[in-house]
Structure 1
Amino acid sequence: MKTLELTAAEILERNIRRQYFADQQLAKLQNPLSSLAYCSDPNTHKQANYLVDAVTPEGYLARIDFRLNRPIEADFYNPNLIPYPKGSKYPYLAIVRMSPKVAGLYHHELAYCDLRWARTRTIHRKVLECATPGIKMNFGKDWKSLDGACRSFPFLQLYQGHTDPRVFFSPHGEPLMVVGSNGKSKKNCLGQFIIDLRVVIPNLATKMNIKHLPIRFPVLTELSRPDLKEIEKNWFVMYDALDSDKEYLHYDFQTRALAPMDVPANPKQYKLIGQPTPKLITGLLQNLKKGDYAANDLHQSTNSLLVTLCDFPCIPTIHNTVMIEIFHVKYLNYYELYYRRYLVVMNATAPFNILGRTENIMYAGTDPTKLVYTVSMVWNSGLYPTHKRWDDDLHGGREIWAALDSAERAKRKLEAEAEAEDFKLKQAHALENSVDVSDYPLGFSENDEVDISKGMVARGLRKRDSSGLAISSEIQSLPSIASLTTEIALATKSTTSVYTRPTPIQRISKPNQNPFVSDRYHGWLDDILLINFGIEDRESGTIHVRARELLECIKVVE
């Protein structure tokens, strides 16, 4: 019997049809995430996700030595590693926190260096060490919190420096950092700020091959929230998978709170969005007796990433792609401070409803009795590739995600129209009865802009500039670090600014590129992640993990 040989085009069409059918079946499931409830050993009741390093010979974490070329009396902890492009001289850039004593008090600083692989002297374990001298990050002159802002901890009003760095790539490829420092308002003792690392690390744009991307955060830019608290820590940025120009801030998991990054500071103008934290997560907290002098709460930990729940080149769509982040359950008493780690899985689009979580995450090579604090995670598929780069023309899928995207947008349009109509009725009722319309749960104002593409109302947000929504990479290129620093110094005497919505960046891709795909923000189950963590607030480590192993045995929200 003669075998029919298919052409490349016929194979591609067949694969597209197969993927389309599979995706339609997935979309019909009441909860697509239920497919991730699979455990590699079904005979074992999984109590923890034990992660083994996919790169080191022993499978253990890689310790990081920051002391080389920088002798200083300080501990280096809570590291952030981001990979350089393949073929670079060194594999990673590292940003780390250190707390040297200044005049008897701890002053929090950040330093960076390029890392290289090395071996320990005695047993030749594979470790990472600074290959270049560690350099302190210079953000300009420190500042104190305003008088009366630090009511609970008055000593925090002093110059704290910069703490808890969280480094990540945006979907556009920008290397950004959210960092803590003294607050700028009377309500806020310690606040959160964002900055583009290309401003403070010379030649980073060249090393990362991102000179074409404009800089949106050229100074430490203060972030805010409608109900700003005295102490704010560990916020992370989220990007809607269908519109990566829309940035959100996730403030808290304990009482879940998130909002668009450009939300007005007045809580009357905007209410926080999102569903409450499900019992699947809040149930991790223990009922501790008051006499035990102990407490436990939920702490945000890493940045967010997108992952498609199948192997490359499975076509990313709204039905098979989720957002992930690691959070902590923090236990504290007079004798012990301890963290348990869990991966949370959310919808990839606003309002990012929580879908499920893992069991407790353990890193091979760490002591379970020690404090391990997870800081950040990043896709590392460039250095340790498991497949070729995504190409819409080669791998297909445009028809699939475009059809699904069109259906989703049509659905959201109807929802938005219904929501807007409901608001008009509420507004009419408020005017008739002299009620403040901002007291309604949604908190809309009369200048609201209905965003049809997202099926939600941009509540009290600033209008976009009608002169243009994007910065052309051909028109606005990245200035040199030296000229940029000079421009900033001339433009302002302050080292910080209050957040104002920057002009959205134009994605550097084909106009009809799959919107989910991003080299540094998105990956597949067979891709490798780099997870960075501090140990006992004294040491640093990292571990290379396949996404499939991290997302195993998911417990799904009912």
Structure 2
Amino acid sequence: MLIQPKKGVLPAIGGVIVLIFLFALFSGGDYVSKPTASVREWANGRLESWSGHAEDQEIYTAPKEPTIASDSDESPSEPEPEPTTEFDSLPKPKTEPKPPTDFDSPQKPKTEPKPPIDFDSPPKPKTEPKPAPEPVSKPKSKPKPSTSKTTGVAGTHNEISSSITEDGSYFPITFRDYPAMNPNIIPHPTLNDTWFIVAQRYKEGPENPTWFTELVCEAAFKDGRLECIASPLILPIPATFSTKCEGDISHFNFNVGPHDARVFYGPDVPYILYGSQSAFNCFGQWMTDFRSLVDWYYARRQTDPFGIPTDLQRPEPYGPIEKNYFPFWDHEGVVHMHYDISPRRVFGKIGFDGTVGEDLAPLAASKDKSCLAKYMAPPEAAQFESIHQSTNSLSVTMCNRNDTTCKQTTSNTYIFTIVQRKSYYNFHSVYEPYVVVFNQGAPFELYGISSKPFWIKGRKEDRHSSEDKRDLKRDSEMLYVTSVNWKDRGLKYHGFLDDDLLVGFGIEDKDTGGIDVPAADLLRDLGLCSDT
């Protein structure tokens, strides 16, 4: 059956709904409307004043947007602007508090506007720049390359320049806290842009005058100079003794240690040659494998040539003091020793035990004599002059490595070394270096000699800086060339004309210097013996 609703329920529910509607309609309420265009324009104008302000200017915040009255009977509320914010109220870094800003004082003009300030985060404290680190060490002395132009030598010398220094002058070589002289430079076997440098320690003052050492270190270029990466060490070369130092040269008995070392590459390994007391004369020449004296990784064998210090012999007669030998290797890799260049050449095949065969120079003497007379005339006895061997030897192929048609052959590859003409006037020595080139095959006759000596850029024309007319033979700076080796790692005894060399030299018997030069520049102006 149908269920009938109770009477009076529906009218009651309807009445409640009507009352709720009327209450909501007449109670009213505030609502926030969007700001008008004029309000937005005013606020934006105030905000634009923030951009580009200096720290001593007043910063404003935009006033709160006014509300629009509702339909209720309540009167609209008046907008109340927020107080302005000064820089003094901003958080300051604790480490560097700033003094309060005086807004009454006149503002200083600013040359450059500052960027907008981020008020959401406190300003960062200023950091002081860190001072530059001090150099590890400073050498006590080093030569200063000359910046003067060597105009006085243009017609008399072949000037060579460096590509390492800004003005092309030679670079100093420094052994940190130890002054040195007569340097040698060879490329490191495993490290790029690194070289072994060796030089005689220079001593002065009250130091022991009879104790001699050769300094050694790994070196690199820094600020225009070649310097030891770490403090140098002493080459462990044993002292020797001789029974032949008698009479006027008996003082050589007091000598302890090596003199005037030469470090160089052979076709395969590096060697060192130095002076010390000898069993065959008072003071002779010794040679040994350089690798055994330094931190050089290699498999040492009993059969290594010159594996121990070897007392070198020469064709007789001996002088009481022998100096400046240099070895050379022929096309077959056989080692010979060159003893003299003047008044005549002396050289011969040498054994690994130091023994020597006959003098081979007479086989080439007829051609050598005319070549030496033209390009390096023997000095007259009345003059205070002489000619000396000075460096090791290298072999060079007379074409460029970068030329694809250039091939090393026995007909285009020669041996070269540097010799020097010495003059001694006014108690001062001056050395003029010449390049001497000879054949790499028997009888090893001369091929050419520099038609004029080479001039190392940076060498002083007048060591006294006098305004008087200069005499290069007597007054120029003494540079004594001691070493010539290929610059690049991997090059040993042989190279090409476009390969770079490193030439080392002593300066006034108390400093060291060097210069890089392409082989072609060093061999420039070569006078050929075939023209004599």
TM range (shorter): 0.5 to 0.7
Measure, in 1, the Cα distance between the counterparts of 2:417 and 2:324.
12
Measure, in 2, the Cα distance between the counterparts of 1:143 and 1:82.
26
Which residue number corresponds to residue 400 of structure 2?
311
Measure, in 2, the Cα distance between the counterparts of 1:264 and 1:282.
35
Measure, in 2, the Cα distance between the counterparts of 1:279 and 1:297.
18
User: Are 1:270 and 2:371 an aligned pair?
Assistant: no
User: Are 1:328 and 2:426 an aligned pair?
Assistant: no
- Contact 1:205–1:211 (Cα < 8 Å) also in 2: no
Which residue number corresponds to residue 225 of structure 2?
127
Measure, in 2, the Cα distance between the counterparts of 1:542 and 1:287.
28
Residue type of the alignment partner of 1:154? S
User: Where in structure 2 are there 5+ consecutive unaligned residues?
Assistant: 1-152, 462-475
User: Where in structure 1 are there 5+ consecutive unaligned residues?
Assistant: 1-43, 120-125, 384-518
Secondary structure of 1:153 counterpart: helix
- Contact 1:117–1:128 (Cα < 8 Å) also in 2: yes
Seen in structure 2, the aligned counterparts of structure 1 residues 371 and 285 have a Cα distance that, compared at 3 Å, is farther
- Contact 1:225–1:263 (Cα < 8 Å) also in 2: no
Q: Identity across aligned pairs (percent)?
A: 27
Which residue number corresponds to residue 412 of structure 1?
none
User: Are 1:164 and 2:256 an aligned pair?
Assistant: no
Match runs of 1:349-368 below 5 Å = 349-358=441-450, 359-368=452-461
Query: Which protein, 1 or 2, shows the higher relative CO under an 8 Å CA cutoff with sep ≥ 6?
Result: 1
User: Are 1:154 and 2:250 an aligned pair?
Assistant: yes
Secondary structure of 1:248 counterpart: strand
Structure 2-normalised TM-score? 0.61
2:487 counterpart (362, 380, 404) = 380
Seen in structure 2, the aligned counterparts of structure 1 residues 379 and 263 have a Cα distance that, compared at 3 Å, is closer
User: Are 1:144 and 2:116 an aligned pair?
Assistant: no
Secondary structure of 1:278 counterpart: helix
Secondary structure of 1:199 counterpart: helix
Which residue number corresponds to residue 512 of structure 2?
540
Which residue number corresponds to residue 350 of structure 2?
261
Seen in structure 2, the aligned counterparts of structure 1 residues 133 and 47 have a Cα distance that, compared at 3 Å, is same
Seen in structure 2, the aligned counterparts of structure 1 residues 379 and 115 have a Cα distance that, compared at 3 Å, is same
Match runs of 1:440-519 below 5 Å = 519=491
User: Are 1:175 and 2:273 an aligned pair?
Assistant: no
Which residue number corresponds to residue 297 of structure 1?
386
Alpha-carbon distance, 1:350 to partner: 2.5
2:186 counterpart (75, 82, 100) = 82
Measure, in 1, the Cα distance between the counterparts of 2:484 and 2:288.
18
- Contact 1:285–1:296 (Cα < 8 Å) also in 2: no
Residue type of the alignment partner of 1:225? R
- Contact 2:212–2:256 (Cα < 8 Å) also in 1: yes
- Contact 2:271–2:289 (Cα < 8 Å) also in 1: yes
Which residue number corresponds to residue 322 of structure 2?
232
Which residue number corresponds to residue 70 of structure 2?
none
Seen in structure 2, the aligned counterparts of structure 1 residues 105 and 220 have a Cα distance that, compared at 3 Å, is same
Secondary structure of 1:532 counterpart: strand
- Contact 1:84–1:92 (Cα < 8 Å) also in 2: yes
Alpha-carbon distance, 1:46 to partner: 5.3
Number of residues of Structure 1 aligned to a counterpart in Structure 2: 353
Seen in structure 2, the aligned counterparts of structure 1 residues 199 and 85 have a Cα distance that, compared at 3 Å, is closer
For the aligned residue pairs, the C-alpha RMSD in angstroms reads 2.8
1:112 counterpart (216, 237, 241) = 216
Alpha-carbon distance, 1:112 to partner: 0.3
Alpha-carbon distance, 1:262 to partner: 2.5
2:308 counterpart (183, 200, 219) = 219
1:51 counterpart (156, 160, 167) = 160
User: Are 1:524 and 2:496 an aligned pair?
Assistant: yes
Secondary structure of 2:520 counterpart: helix
Secondary structure of 2:502 counterpart: strand
Structure 1-normalised TM-score? 0.59
Which residue number corresponds to residue 527 of structure 2?
555
Which residue number corresponds to residue 62 of structure 1?
171
- After superposition, give the CA deviation of every residue in 1:188-222 in whole Å (9 maximum; x if it has no partner): 111000011111112x136xxx8899733232111
Measure, in 2, the Cα distance between the counterparts of 1:525 and 1:262.
31
Of Structure 1 and Structure 2, the greater helix share is in 1
Measure, in 1, the Cα distance between the counterparts of 2:190 and 2:414.
27
Alpha-carbon distance, 1:53 to partner: 0.9
- Contact 2:218–2:228 (Cα < 8 Å) also in 1: yes
Measure, in 2, the Cα distance between the counterparts of 1:49 and 1:195.
35
Secondary structure of 2:307 counterpart: coil
Alpha-carbon distance, 1:532 to partner: 0.9
Secondary structure of 2:291 counterpart: helix
Residue type of the alignment partner of 1:65? T
Measure, in 1, the Cα distance between the counterparts of 2:255 and 2:267.
34
Alpha-carbon distance, 1:289 to partner: 6.8
Measure, in 2, the Cα distance between the counterparts of 1:136 and 1:265.
25
- Contact 1:331–1:338 (Cα < 8 Å) also in 2: yes
Seen in structure 2, the aligned counterparts of structure 1 residues 287 and 525 have a Cα distance that, compared at 3 Å, is closer
